[in-house]
Structure 1
Amino acid sequence: MTRTLNRQHRYSADTLFAGVYRLTERATAVYTAAGLVIVYPEAAQHVLEPRRLRAGVDPVSAFDALLTEVVAEWCATASRVGVEVSGGADSGNVTLSTTAAGFVRVDTFGLLMGGRIGLLQQERRRALVDHLGLRDTAVPAMRHPPFVPGGVRERRLPHDPAGAFYQEAFDVVRSHVAARGCEVIFTGGGGDEVNAHHSRTSAELPLSEPVPWLGEKATEALARVDENLAPVPVLPVPTLMAFGLHNPAYLRLGVWPVAPLVHPRVVRFMEQLPHQHKRGKMMFRDRLRRAGLPEFVAAPTEPENFLAVMESGLRAYGLPLLDDMLRESRLIDLGYVDPDGLAMARDHAERAPVVPDLLCDTLALEVGLRSLE
């Protein structure tokens, strides 16, 4: 609970509920008359230092061939596939490989942000799908912010209390993916992580800013957030945790999500790649340029983000939920949230130009717990 409230998520067998466990990658669930035991594997081995390229080797061509080969592994399984396209370099590279892999049909889907950033994003997406001759479905994210009426949270439908803040918007995207008959959806997940310049041998995540409305029980538990962590996995930890938020809703619709950029072979390739080819996603961007895409697609000056959509949802629908929470709250009753601190945050949010996005985590957890009652 404290990890969720304080945005210090950890990859572990632990969940919000006693008796419910997460089967982490390569772990084994052993169930006997004595009960259930989760057995963690040994830590995965990783490349400690990048290697030097041989003379004459072109990393862009090597990456092109590898990623397309990884995507093409699904050709025997699915004829109709989709790609989540954001307008960034990660999903752009996945889209290039998907169209080159030989599927019967490829459709693209994605969220469009609002404002100037959204207009630039729309131009990038249109340039990509038109260049490749794909059929695209774009969902305006500002129409589906967190806690929007008609969404899973507002309707109190049973859902994961620790679910993603963009769940309402992506629920609409996922419904389009399923309606098109896509059996597999390729995503650009993990692109940031495989291009990052840091050790792959640590499972620790960066500390987040402190939450001023943490209750006494949650504050006491802060010292234990790093207990019972899963060992170092094959894939980057943040990517695996994002899978836990993003993928289950696809699976419930019968769609299998795949993130080719973190296929183990691609992870290994990227770990060995000299950093100058990963800095600023240089190799990813060079591949887009070679494919004939314009510079504003290969290297956008203002990449999209979800912050404006989150702010819209918090301002319009989150603050009334806060008022309701101050009157009656499971988190306050359980000692995880301090009512005085939350009341101060509510007062500040009313007057502040931007509602603190940390409130989204608290509200989502409260609403999610109520949905399961």
Structure 2
Amino acid sequence: SPSPLTERMTLFWHNHFVSAQPKVRYTQLMYRQNVLLRQHALGRFDQLLHEVAKDPAMLIYLDAASSRRGAPNENFAREVMELFTLGAGHYREDDIRQAARAFTGWSIDLDSGQYTFRRLQHDGGEKTVLGQTGNLDGDAVLDVLLAQPATAEFIVRKLWREFVSPQPDEGRVRSIATAFRNGWNIAVPVRALLLQPEVVARDIDNALVKSPAELVVGFLRQSGGELTRPVAAAVSIAGMGQNLFSPPNVRGWPGGEAWINTQTLLARKAFLERGLSERTVAETSIGEPMATSMKDDDTPRRRLQMLEQATSVRIDTEAWLKRAGMAPERVAIPASRAKLEHMLLVVPPTAATGEGVLGLDALRATLLDPAYQLK
């Protein structure tokens, strides 16, 4: 990608405005939603919120498409407050009930697959949401949510955990959120967070665990590796616990230390080992179902077998080593090892590399060090 940060933020919003393929079912709708998230990834949050709220995949996933006057479905109203804007504790149950009435009539045109407003199904009565009373429709409710300081703080807090550290600094969160509300430019908090001292000088106390997507894509970008089958990346990522376009629930992937367990750590190590192997891993004949067939009840052995069948990565390890002043056939000197570790790790390695370790072995030791799992 010419803009890795855009892709990173697209994935962030995919895990914020959650929809999942198994319930939505229509692949084209999931694709359209992904395009929408990418278009607004670093744009204006208020515009993104309004457009995602009317996105057909979202309307299906949170049952809003079938919500109508006299029988409002509260799922979308609840999640838009708790997970998309305010966060828990900043609304009442009656706010959800009233907002659900406002969202009635938001539906999908079955011929085009696009959003449509069905006026006869909309509840046009008076409603009160967060103290605002009137003939509120869905867009008006979203504007009420955007007017709450808690919304900007909730988003900044979540971005902090994505880019800075597991524990946000509430004082700095409020300061950044104030700037964020002045125009809702997503790039404003992202830039501020990337310049935080915890990011500029990363240490083990503030280090974050790479998501499976970050691990795989980062490995490929760092190595200049080539995927002989693009689906292989998605399969590997799914095997590590992040089945893209299929988050586990409306809260998305929890992230952080939850990415690491015995099973997923084995899958991470297996991917890195295969990437460093000189042989080409056999390609699968199973085809497109691979990415969606990684079920929670698969055994670890079965998952690893599927990954062995599906993943094929070619890497020029010699070129990679030369960037660190090393070569496969000669002994790694301390300065070169330090450069290699600086290139690949955000914190010092947990195990020191021996003085006589050859270049390729030094590369392997660095990549398989637990520190490589951190960002």
**With structure 2 as the length reference, what TM-score do the two structures score?**
0.23
User: Could you say which structure has the larger radius of gyration?
Assistant: 2
Structure with larger RCO (C-alpha < 8 A, sep 6+): 1
**With structure 1 as the length reference, what TM-score do the two structures score?**
0.23
Which structure dedicates a bigger proportion of its chain to helix?
2
Which structure dedicates a bigger proportion of its chain to strand?
1
